[in-house]
Amino acid sequence: MNAVLTPEKVRDGSKAGVAIAARAPAGIALVLLGTGVVGGAFLKLLNTPVAAALRLVGVANSRRQQTAVEALADRGLREQLKRQGDARDDVKLLNALDASDAAVKVIVDATASAELAARHAEWLARGYHVVTANKSLGGGELSGWRTLQEALAKGAHYGDAATVGAGLPVLSTLRRLRACGDGLLTLEGVFSGSLSYLFNQYDGSRPFSALLEEARQQGYTEPDPRSDLSGEDVARKLLILARNAGFALGTDEVEVESLVPESLRGLDTQAFLARADELDAPLAARHAEAATRGNVLRYLARLNQRGHARVGLVEVSPTHPAARLYGTDNQFALTTTRYHTQPLVIQGPGAGPEVTAQALLGDVLALG
Ligand SMILES: NC(=O)C1=CN([C@@H]2O[C@H](COP(=O)(O)OP(=O)(O)OC[C@H]3O[C@@H](n4cnc5c(N)ncnc54)[C@H](OP(=O)(O)O)[C@@H]3O)[C@@H](O)[C@H]2O)C=CC1
Ligand SMILES: N[C@@H](CC=O)C(=O)O
């Protein structure tokens, strides 16, 4: 993420929402669910020339929504929505999409809501396209994944580039290899931008919780950072990749190591954040232990050839590829039937508002 677009600036809405709706003609009409870190950055992109053929006809946060043309064109749309707008009502929001004369109608999900993700397949079946940063369907229960596949088999489009690597070309590569008859053998790497940011920097000199707060401020973490620290978000990405490679894994088939102590698990998000310093001592001990052997800690995801999947904290030597990452770098090493001597490696920033919003925009534009 660059220095200009902090979540605070995204959250204050001053940078987003400039005359988005008032342009014509629109080839693609869309509604946006979620105006947080990613949704706010997406609104900014809608104001750039590449989005000229897109028409925003509705936008919603968790409490309010807006479908009025003048309001959607307001410079401070995102901020305005915090104070005013209609009560949340998906039916009314989708009516706005139906009322549009655009040939292509898209629902963009920039939330982390499992309830909304559970509706993706239904929306696809009704003829809308769905573009999502929300991993809860693709990386959730296998039954949901199967329902999604049924909807896709009928020709609907599901833009999910943002769900893995914040838009790094991982899913597209995997699908392309598969379409060419190449099979995934193993998959390994760092699939979390926030955990990468944390462990790339953590050397024991600053409390882990201070780094976590930095990651949160930069917009790298999930709305509740325990989704990252628990390994849940990494497990979702591993499931999305594995399923796209043909491994129909259930959520209970991924071994997940959580970094969240038992005492911090049952709290609401604010209470957890207030006690985040309780993460410090256990991680300092893990770090010191690894350091005695000259090693470092990295949170890795692995899928082996037998379909065994694990995500967790691993001690690696400083020469390990995952030990040489920077910032929010993700790393995906794909060993396949044709890339078997050396893996195909995809690496780059794997979290942050701008790259993630760009992944959403790319998926929307691909529908045109
Ligand atoms: N941050 C990143 O780097 C990346 C994030 N993602 C994914 O993007 C998604 C959003 O993340 P992020 O922007 O960081 O999260 P935020 O918490 O910043 O934003 C979430 C937004 O979703 C809104 N929301 C929640 N429930 C609903 C609902 N039922 N209807 C409409 N809006 C709702 C929230 O509303 P309110 O404002 O009222 O709280 C908020 O505006 C997550 O699924 C995340 O995994 C994916 C790749 C990278
Ligand atoms: N919280 C996630 C954001 C992208 O999915 C991460 O840290 O990778």
Ligand 1 atom with the shortest distance to the CA of 1? 3
The ligand that comes nearest to the alpha carbon of residue 167 is 1
Structural domain contains residue 1: no
Residue 137 and residue 206 in one domain: no
For residue 91, being part of any structural domain is answered with yes
How many folded domains does the chain comprise? 2
Rounded to the nearest 10 degrees, how much is the dihedral formed by the CA atoms of 301, 302, 303, 304? 180
In a domain, residue 2? The reply is no
Mean pLDDT of 296-323: 97
Confidence category of residue 22, pLDDT binned at 50, 70, 90: very low
DSSP 8-state secondary structure symbol assigned to residue 140: S
> Which of 111, 197, 356, 358 has most ligand 1 atoms within 8 Å of CB, for mutation?
111
Span 159-192, pLDDT tens digits? 999 999 999 999 999 999 999 999 999 999 999 9
Please tell me the residue having the least CA distance from ligand 1 atom 28. 62
354 lines ligand 2 (CB under 6 A): no
pLDDT category at 7 given cuts 50, 70, 90 is: very low
CATH number of residue 310's parent domain? 3.30.360.10
In single-letter form, the type of residue at position 66 comes to Q
Same domain, 144 and 159: yes
220 lines ligand 2 (CB under 6 A): yes
Does 15 participate in catalysis according to the annotation?
no
Residues at the binding site for NADPH are: 111, 135
Q: Which two tokens stand for residue 68?
A: 């009025």
* CB 37 within 8 Å of CB 6: no
> Residue 124 domain-assigned?
yes
Q: Which residue has the higher pLDDT, 102 or 7?
A: 102
Contact (Cβ atoms closer than 8 angstroms) between residue 287 and residue 202: yes
Q: Quick check: pTM over 0.90?
A: yes
Write the DSSP string, 205-233: SS-HHHHHHHHHHTT-S-SSTHHHHTSHH
CB distance 351 to ligand 1 below 6 Å: yes
Range of the domain at 193: 177-349
- How would residue 140 be classed by pLDDT, with cut points 50, 70 and 90? very high
At residue 294, the pLDDT reads 98
Tell whether 148 and 263 lie within a shared domain.
no
Same domain, residue pair 357 and 331: no
Q: Identify whether residues 203 and 158 lie together within a single domain.
A: no
Indicate the SS3 state at residue 312. Answer: strand
Count the alpha carbons within 13 Å of 100 in the hemisphere toward its beta carbon.
28
Residue pointed to by tokens 């509740």: 224
Is 43 in the same domain as 65?
Answer: yes
Average pLDDT over residues 216-240: 98
Asked if residues 28 and 54 have their Cβ atoms less than 8 Å apart, the reply is: yes
Cis ω on the peptide bond leading into residue 25 (within 30° of 0)? Answer: yes
Check whether residue 270 and residue 307 sit in a common domain.
Answer: yes
Ligand 1 contacts CB of residue 85 (under 6 A): no
Site to probe by mutation for ligand 1, drawn from 11, 45, 61, 269 as the one with most ligand atoms within 8 Å of Cβ, is 61
Residue 12 has pLDDT above 80, yes or no: no
| CATH number of the domain encompassing residue 29 | 3.40.50.720
Q: Quick one: 212 exposed, middle or buried, by C-beta within 10 A (0-12, 13-18, 19+)? A: buried
State in Å: Cα 113 to ligand 1 middle: 8
Q: Are residues 300 and 272 part of one domain?
A: yes
At 25, is the pLDDT very low, low, confident or very high (cuts 50, 70, 90)? low
Tell me the CB-side half-sphere exposure of residue 71, using CA atoms within 13 A.
18
